[in-house]
Chains A and B, each alone.
Chain A
């Protein structure tokens, strides 16, 4: 008996839901009714993305391909359009006529449009149902300043790697229900700050914000605070990415004060102001902290507030001096997971004693002769090291495994590279 035709729809869906994406697709070949059943099930189609990829004159629109898509009754919810030449974007829209009502997520990557209006027109087509949009490396010849589009359903918006300017964001100023906004740019000059500022002013529900430098500089310094006395959103997650090395000392204190009590995850590629690192450790809900280079603090006498909520931390300090490392280790008594560049023997011994909750340690590199202490990190459960620096007459290998520390046992069991 065929359950697709004989069991209630939701029970058929429950059966198919146990299958992987590949197997589910294979099941569409069983019969017409199986193909239709899967294609019309909103629960099952959640697992499937339809991808228009690298379509150009050579490859696109062999007739049968186009026909198959037209005849298909599948209700795709996730669409990706990647590296499709400009001529065919309009045709893709044609193919979606009549099927638009189901698309919830749309990802456009490496596409070229004449102007921002064309981008907007394209996206607006999906507006009635769209909840998530990602624009990655979208090239636009010219920018039209207009704001007539409303995306009220939109919850997630990512505008990534915009190289000319962040103009694409001007399309989205009329969305007021965002919970996640990510804007990253590879360009240093920004003319169009306003759309982002408007979005930040509107979206009270915003929980996750990612911006690259110089965008996060603009947000974090008082530009936003000047226009708006109060920051409307309370973020759980803030990510600041960075592509520029020489950046002046910036104090983000005012911004962090507004987010002090809500932030649970913070990632900053560049922290170079003492005030910033101090305030970060005062955040009472912070669970996850990723900091870029903290070398600058080695010159300072750093004392940090003890933060009991931090469970996961990573930071870069290639100089491997003790000042910063010591201050941070003292401030994170409950940390479970840590990712760092390297550790000296002294720091390892200190951390073994101090960080009683540490279970997972990731390091870029370590010197084998620093690993002789058999009492290193007895409580550790996972450890990975990318490169082990090792002299020929190394202690690490001369000690029997059962007498070596938990740290060494875990390193030996992992994949690492030995550098002599």
Chain B
């Protein structure tokens, strides 16, 4: 390898609201979307490449994403195929802690992880919401997500009845 060339070159990305962030190539390659873009440029072009515009990610969310990819840049990432059947075994406490944020931020993170194609981050962030649902009753779920209870007593009884005939596949 060329001695002058750093092994993990700097890369810049720009959020939808125009803020520029600097990170490293290794980190940003966790994003399948950006990896595809960079592969089209060819490797020699990375240093001369300008900042990558990310029109679907705002600066607040991008900051969070960058924090995550920089922490995980040396970890082997599962593909979206591998993660499909994954059941929750062990969650890295760092990730657990990282995901402590309000719902709006979490939704933005999910959307960004999806757009940037970071399967592990998408899995973790959607799982986080599922865990919020897991231990709540329907009424508690309604208040958590601010959902109006639009059932009449007869209607909800009908759904309850229907559910009784359902079995696990």
Contact = CB atoms under 8 A, between A and B. Distances in A.
Given A14-B126, A19-B130, A29-B156, A52 B147 contact: no
A48 interface: yes
Interface string B79-98: 00000000010000000000
Interface string A1-17: 11100111011001111
B146 interface: yes
B25 interface: no
Contacts of A29: 138, 151, 156, 159-160, 163
Contact of A26 (B138, B157, B165): B138
B150 interface: yes
A231 to B, nearest CB: 33
A377 B133 CA distance: 47
B134 A19 contact: yes
Nearest to A14: B126
Contacts of A27: 133, 138, 141
14 contacts: A1-B107, A1-B145, A2-B145, A3-B107, A3-B129, A8-B111, A15-B133, A31-B151, A32-B151, A49-B168, A49-B169, A53-B165, A64-B157, A65-B161
A31 B166 contact: no
B127 interface: yes
Contacts of A34: 147
A324 B111 CA distance: 62
B159 A18 contact: no
Interface residues of A, number: 45
A153 B138 CA distance: 39
B169 A47 contact: yes
A31 B104 contact: no
Nearest to B141: A30
A18 B88 contact: yes
A47 B168 CA distance: 6
B167 A1 contact: no
Interface in B17-48: none
Given A2-B146, A29-B163, 10 more contacts: A1-B103, A1-B107, A8-B114, A11-B126, A25-B163, A29-B156, A31-B142, A50-B166, A67-B158, A68-B162
The 3 closest A-B pairs by CB, nearest first: A18-B130, A68-B158, A21-B168
A58 interface: no
A31 B168 contact: no
B159 A31 contact: no
B122 interface: yes
A420 interface: no
Interface string A287-318: 00000000000000000000000000000000
A31 B169 contact: no
Contacts of A48: 166-169
A360 interface: no
B169 to A, nearest CB: 5
Contact of A1 (B104, B158, B159): B104
